[in-house]
Amino acid sequence: MRQLQQDTDLPQLPPKMKGSTKAPQAADDITKEVRKLSIDDKNNQGGAKTPQQTADAQAPQPVFQLPQEFVVKYLGKREAGGLWGIKHTRKPVDDMVSQAKEMKPGEQLPYLKMTISDKGVNISEMPQNVNKNFEGGFYSIDVISYGVQDLVYTRVFAMILVSEDASFKNYHPFLCHAFVCDSRHNARRLTFSLAQAFQKFSKEVKGSKQKKPKKFAIDLRSPEEIEADLKEADSEA
């Protein structure tokens, strides 16, 4: 799949990129901004692209040195209807954003650090975090089936995790987890970083006879490109 872009009024948390010395924004300030989440920042309703959107679309795929670190807010998780495809992340993201907007004054979303390495994704809490309602820990590449920058809320990154443990009550194999970045630019950086981890893992799988290949995808199209492709598919149906 192709490359992702971003744009939206999601919480402004400075992504703590590796090597950054800028202090992260206070968690309570970021939580206040969640209530201001709006549907895309696509400012021109006429359909014309902004200079930034045009530049993003024409830019070559960036290459980042892993690991990469990001400071994010955790929106939560919802059941997903399948392994990959934005059709399985869109409604879960809408539901989680709506719930976040309804938070009471003083409530905060989990304030976390996401580290993308060639082995997978590690989620840990920031020192300022006060909300313990999140699932931290390490998620290896082979349990992540899909990753995408959201089409509507372009500061949101969503990924689908696959569980093969059916021992739990109300077991569901596919779960969509969503995270808010400080900007669409860093949501894109996060997406590309995970894409690189996928690529390396894929090469290792092909070179090893002991590993069973897993199916996964990273959607690197821009939100504008995803929307255009969906409209084209609808018109052909």
47 or 222: whose pLDDT is higher?
222
**pTM for the model:** 0.71
Q: What is the mean pLDDT of residues 111-127?
A: 96
Write down the domain spans for the chain: 27-236
**Average confidence score pLDDT of the chain:** 76
Q: What is the mean pLDDT of residues 59-88?
A: 88
Strand order in the sheet with 120-125: 137-140, 120-125, 111-116, 68-79, 174-180, 156-162, 144-149, 217-219
Give the per-residue pLDDT at 11. Answer: 46
- As a whole number of Å, the end-to-end CA separation of the chain is 22
Least confident interval from 81-90, 108-117, 123-132? 81-90
Q: Is the pLDDT of residue 125 over 80?
A: yes
Give the per-residue pLDDT at 16. Answer: 44
Q: Is the pLDDT of residue 81 over 90?
A: no
Give the per-residue pLDDT at 107. Answer: 93
Beta bridge partner(s), residue 160? 146, 176
Give the per-residue pLDDT at 222. Answer: 73
| 3-state secondary structure at position 57 | helix
d(CA 152, CA 159): 15
Give the per-residue pLDDT at 7. Answer: 44
Q: Is the pLDDT of residue 148 over 80?
A: yes
Fold of 27-236: PH-domain like (2.30.29)
Give the per-residue pLDDT at 198. Answer: 87
128: confidence class by pLDDT, cuts 50, 70, 90: very high
Give the per-residue pLDDT at 228. Answer: 74
The pair of three-digit structure tokens given for residue 32, joined into one six-digit string: 């206040």
Please choose, from the candidates 130, 115, 155, the residue with its C-alpha nearest in 3D space to the C-alpha of residue 34.
155
